[in-house]
Amino acid sequence: MAELESSWAEPVEAEVLAIAAHRDDVEQTCGGTLLKMRAQGVSTAILDLTRGEAGTRGSAAERAAEADAAAQILGVSWRGALDIPDGRVENTYENRLKLVRVLRQVRPRVVILPYWTGRHPDHYTTAGLGYEACFLSGLASLDTGFAPHRPFKILYASLYADVRPSFVVDVTAHIEARHRSLMAYTSQYANQERGGGLFVPEEEIRERTFSVARHYGLLAGVRYAEPFVQKEIGLVEDLTLIPVQSL
């Protein structure tokens, strides 16, 4: 099996790269942000670490086609998937090197990772794996056939984490397209007998996802938003231009 699977040819350079464990994770946690960045002329890309072969619903081939459809809606420049086994994402040196090769080809300024705690081991493992790969990617002594590159900023999509975000992104103008990108995964979200007790009914998905985005929007005085955490202290140049009113 090839290490990198993509119907989008070779990876292309993009300013923002979202890395997630599974196809549809990005759509749920930062799809609106990718849409907003693209609308502002910022190039975006997605790397899924697994191909969904262990999921309750849908085959890897079905999820690949759905991921392509979702990527078209999100307007990303490139999307690919590694061959890390679904349900067995591990922070190994071999897996870090797989990410390094993509990082050095895409050369993002910003990398979005899942938050580092959560229910699914694949998700929180991806956070550590992605961070360490970003570090290794900048080492000139590491020869992968591509020039070294270290992203400037690492952000963590914290939509499903019970933490106070460092900031939120207003995705109000893109909330409907974000929903369409998620619903492109018909194998996962269309009502069906298989996995019926595990998955949210299709008719409830819109209400649930919109209400969560509404919650984070209210925190910042906008309608819908997606939350992020950064580990670094923020830097402000002009106190009079800090957004979000205090009173």
Q: Please check whether residue 136 lies inside any domain of the structure.
A: yes
| 53, β-bridge pairs | none
pLDDT tens-digit map of 113-161: 999 998 889 999 999 999 999 999 999 999 999 999 999 999 999 999 9
Q: Residue 45 belongs to a domain with what CATH number?
A: 3.40.50.10320
Task: Domain of residue 84: give its range.
Answer: 4-230
Number of domains making up the chain: 1
Q: Please check whether residue 103 lies inside any domain of the structure.
A: yes
The stretch 176-192 carries a mean pLDDT of 85
pLDDT value of position 22: 94
The stretch 61-78 carries a mean pLDDT of 94
Q: Please check whether residue 63 lies inside any domain of the structure.
A: yes
Per-residue tokens: 10:
């070779």
CA atoms within 13 A on the CB side of 117: 4
pLDDT tens-digit map of 163-172: 999 999 999 9
Q: Please check whether residue 236 lies inside any domain of the structure.
A: no
CA distance linking residue 208 with residue 46, whole number of Å: 24
pLDDT value of position 60: 76
Q: Is the pTM of this model over 0.85?
A: yes
Q: Please check whether residue 71 lies inside any domain of the structure.
A: yes
Output the furthest CA–CA distance in the chain (Å, rounded): 57
CA distance linking residue 236 with residue 246, whole number of Å: 16
Q: Please check whether residue 139 lies inside any domain of the structure.
A: yes
Q: Please check whether residue 190 lies inside any domain of the structure.
A: yes
Cα radius of gyration rounded to whole Å, the chain = 18
Residue 195's pLDDT band, with cuts at 50, 70 and 90, is very low
Q: Please check whether residue 246 lies inside any domain of the structure.
A: no
Long-range contacts of 142-145 (CB under 8 A, 24+ apart): 142/100, 144/97, 144/100, 144/101, 144/104, 145/101
